[in-house]
Amino acid sequence: MEKFYKEVLMNGIKDMVFILKVVNDDFRFQFINTAAMERLNLSKRIVGSSIMDIEPKEKAKFLYNQYSKVVEIQNSYTYEDVYEENGKKYYAETVLSPFFDEKGTVDQIIAVVRDITHERNTFTNAMEMLNELAESNERYHSLFFHNTDGIFILDKMGFISDGNEASEHITGYEIRELFGKSLKEIIDKEDTGNFDNLINEAVKGTNQSGNLLFNNKNGEQVNIIFKIIPLFIDEKIIGLYGILKDVTEQIQSINKLEESEKSFRIIAENAHDLITLINKDGEITYVSPSYKNILGYYQQEYLNKSFLHNVHTDDQERFLEIVQNSISSGEPFTIQFRQKNAEGHMIWCESIGNPVFNHNNNFQHLVVLTRDITLRREYEAKLKYFAYHDSLTNLPNRLFFKEQFALAKEQFLTSNTPLALILLDIDYFKLINDTYGHDTGDAVIKEFGSRIKSTIRDHDMVARLGGDEFVILLSNIQSSNNAIEIAERINDTIQLPWKLNGHTLTVTTSMGIATAPSQLIFTESSLMKKADIALYEAKKSGKNCYKLYNDNCPTPSSYTNKKTKL
């Protein structure tokens, strides 16, 4: 399994991954995966080199500043970068994650670089279309209700369903007087045939125009230039527009609206990420077809619902605050959150949102582009796991032990809850390695760690420090007798039969025990040193035993188990 995870890091992650060591005020490469080597034409030979050695001066200075921010804030940091390759512009998003040494200092920084060129271009194109759409809608509103020329809305038979104020001035009739009547009734009889031809051609899908005579309410004839435009919804004609007088500029606006709607629809229907429109009331007015592929929901299951629909309850307050701030400031936002898919699972997503305003600077809607980042989050979790665990035994490593010790010490200082360390190693381990080979030696270390873990309590921890050396952190013990009981239990477990790689082995361990002094100031280093002294005494006494360090005596106490030598 460990080899699998390492293979995933090196070859399975399509994002570029770097691990850099913080050395004084410099950053040096420790790891680079295959994606980074191929994309940037690098090789493993850069390992050990400084950023300043690899990158051009200006680029190196920029990267140095980004990594320095992580050291300064001691937290993850994300930035975007733009670069050109072969004359083409690329966008990248880099997440820098710090890992700390025992002193709480940033020791390593893991960089995961993701190519967001496609998402950025898609988002930019969508924003351009939506801005045009918002502008066209405003123009349409003005065209219909405030136009000085008359406009009627007709069904496919020419019956009137609505009209603007200008149409009342031209015909002399109030709109309510014309509702449900055929427009033919106020057209001069000589032009009714021409009107029928215009209607018949218009319902076939083409704009029609002609000169007609209207008879207004006072019986006066009015010469107009009459245009009929089919009204399409989802490529079906549901009615007609009847426009009186010259409406060239208005027709261009309507055509632009139709073209904008079509362009946006093409982008939305082919997008791999989620595209969402949210109105000023926080309701979803549009979702892209990709909702079905990514979340498993049909579009209509989200329409007219709150934009927080299916967002994890723990993330809703933060999401709402970020959206409100974005609308107030007019600035885009980025947020990572969890939302539920159709199978009931919570998946991690990242949204980029942008508020859209009309020419009066009034908020129209929010455009949100969302992508599934569950896999990326899993990669980050695996990277963190590798940084805190031993690769052979899967037990916590020295770094993890130091962090847990700091927590246990804090609990000790606040509640005076005793704690202890047991430092132990495998007796005659070099002889085992030399006699049976390193494969068997590794198998002994893994089994040794497994047996130790099985003997300790759930809230205790065992960590591998390196080689055959292990340490046990015992927290919330009542007295040193509890540590002794655990040491005896370990001894009994270790002396059970060993059969590994076809060999029957006799394995024993020596242990040094040190308890935290109740009256003295101590550190992880000082307590570890006492346990090491006790371990030395155990080895000196013939191995296969444990020794308890006594602060009141110059040498450890002589608690000793029965010895069994190889």
Active-site residues, by number, are: 468
CA distance 272 to 371: 8
334: left (phi over 0), alpha (psi -120 to 50) or beta: beta
Cβ-proximal residues to 426 (8 Å cutoff; 6+ apart), any chain = 432, 444, 445, 448, 468, 507, 508, 509
> Residue holding tokens 């974005």?
326
> Would you give the distance in Å from CA 34 to the centre of its chain?
22
**What angle do the packed helices 117-145 and 248-270 form, to 10 degrees?**
150
Can you tell me whether residue 336 is helix, strand or coil? strand
Of the candidates 351, 459, 481, 475, the residue with the CA atom closest to the CA atom of residue 406: 475
Angle value at C-alpha 329, between 323 and 330, nearest 5 degrees: 80
Provide the 10 A C-beta neighbour count for residue 422. Answer: 27
Where are the strands (E) in 101-166, listed by range?
106-115, 151-154, 160-163
Of the candidates 29, 3, 13, 25, the residue with the CA atom closest to the CA atom of residue 110: 29
Q: Are 419 and 473 in contact (CB under 8 A)?
A: yes
104: left (phi over 0), alpha (psi -120 to 50) or beta: left
Q: What is the DSSP letter of 475?
A: E
26 to 164, 190, 318: CA distances (angstroms): 71, 91, 36
CA distance 381 to 384: 5
Provide the 10 A C-beta neighbour count for residue 459. Answer: 10
Q: What is the DSSP letter of 100?
A: E
Q: Are 173 and 217 in contact (CB under 8 A)?
A: yes
Where are the strands (E) in 116-235, listed by range?
151-154, 160-163, 208-215, 221-233
Backbone φ and ψ for 367, nearest 5 degrees, come out as: -100, 125
Of the candidates 353, 194, 375, 183, the residue with the CA atom closest to the CA atom of residue 282: 353
CA distance 447 to 268: 56
Backbone φ and ψ for 514, nearest 5 degrees, come out as: -140, 130
> Residue holding tokens 């709480």?
104
Can you tell me whether residue 256 is helix, strand or coil? helix
> Residue holding tokens 């082919």?
270
